[in-house]
Amino acid sequence: MKLLGCLLTANDCYKTKRTIRPKGVMVHSTGANNPTLRRYVQPLDTTPGQEELLTALGVNRNGNHWNRPGLDVCVHGFVGRLADGTVAAVQTLPWDHRGWHAGTGTSGRSANDTHISFEMCEDDLTDPDYFGRAYRTAVELTAMLCARYGLDPMADGVVICHQDGYRRGVASNHGDVYNWFPRFGMDMNDFRADVVRAMSDEDEEEDDDMVYYQTLADVPEYYRTAVDKAVEQGALKGEREGVLNVSEDLCRTLTVLDRMGVLDRKG
């Protein structure tokens, strides 16, 4: 997933500076035949990296983007096409900012108070290639957010779309994303399952990248003193005699503890 950052600092929602404790992710789709990110996202003169962002996003010459005052809507991100035609995600609010995306539901409550939100930029809803790439990017973005905030995507009410929110009484009556996903044989149950798989893939990739040291002699010198102390005190026993199979992360943690004097304490 390619993720850019272009906060909508001129939007009235951003200016409220209200925050939430994220409890879920709400997926929206725009309801307009325009898959380009530039339609909704544009940097200002004060936006860091403005020139690079304009090159990546393209220029909205109509001025109807969302980085301006006077709008009553704002989400945390968008998924859509960059200027070169590739699909990416862009963050438009801090993830813990209270967005304006769900409206008020029949319960009198709003997912604005609980859910991070993003819009998937719709095209004419007939292109399987664009749908597949946008869908995958949305899955990966949701997986990243669930991992960051310790959210279980399969738990009740955590990963939902706007229509799900309406049915739960926490959003206004919009049909997205059920106007789009079923055209390609998908629904939110598929989406949640794919988020779980994406999170599992990320965990496996992290495990594959982890460095392990089989013996004390393999441990780099700058970690070795701390690891040796942990072995001597019986805190680190390894798999069998002489074989530690200790990760670099654990070595780093032991080194910090040693610098705090923890490994010098007896009993």
Q: Mean pLDDT per segment of 10 residues, for the chain of length 267 residues?
A: 96 97 98 98 95 97 98 98 97 97 98 98 97 97 96 97 98 98 96 95 61 81 84 74 78 79 69
**Is 255 found in the same domain as 191?**
no
**Is 194 found in the same domain as 78?**
yes
Instruction: Give the residue from 184, 207, 230 where a domain finishes.
Output: 207
Q: Which domain CATH number covers 122?
A: 3.40.80.10
CB neighbour class for 78 (10 Å; exposed up to 12, middle 13-18, buried from 19): buried
Could you tell me which of 39, 70, 79 has the C-alpha nearest to residue 176?
79
**Is 129 found in the same domain as 250?**
no
**Is 231 found in the same domain as 145?**
no
Could you tell me which of 1, 32, 23 has the C-alpha nearest to residue 102?
23
Instruction: Give the residue from 175, 190, 207 where a domain finishes.
Output: 207
Quick one: CA dihedral 166, 172, 174, 176, positive or negative? negative
**Is 166 found in the same domain as 224?**
no
Report in angstroms the alpha-carbon separations of 235 from 212, 219, 230: 18, 17, 5
Task: For 6-37, write each residue's pLDDT tens digit.
Answer: 999 999 999 999 999 999 999 999 999 999 99
Could you tell me which of 41, 46, 53 has the C-alpha nearest to residue 8?
41
Contacts of 194 (CB under 8 A, 6+ apart): 139
**Sequence-ordered alpha helix ranges (H) in 25-172:** 50-57, 128-149, 162-167
Q: What angle do CA 255, 261, 264 make, to 5 degrees?
A: 100
**Is 243 found in the same domain as 165?**
no
- Distance (Å, whole) CA 38 – CA 136: 20
**Is 141 found in the same domain as 246?**
no
Task: For 144-190, write each residue's pLDDT tens digit.
Answer: 999 999 999 999 999 999 999 999 999 999 999 999 999 999 999 99
Note whether 230 and 247 are within 8 A (CB).
Answer: no
Instruction: Give the residue from 188, 207, 226 where a domain finishes.
Output: 207
**Is 218 found in the same domain as 192?**
no
Q: What domain count does the chain have?
A: 2
**Is 248 found in the same domain as 150?**
no
What predicted TM-score, i.e. pTM, was given to this entire model?
A: 0.77
Tokens 């779309």, located at residue: 161
Range of the structural domain that residue 40 is part of: 3-207
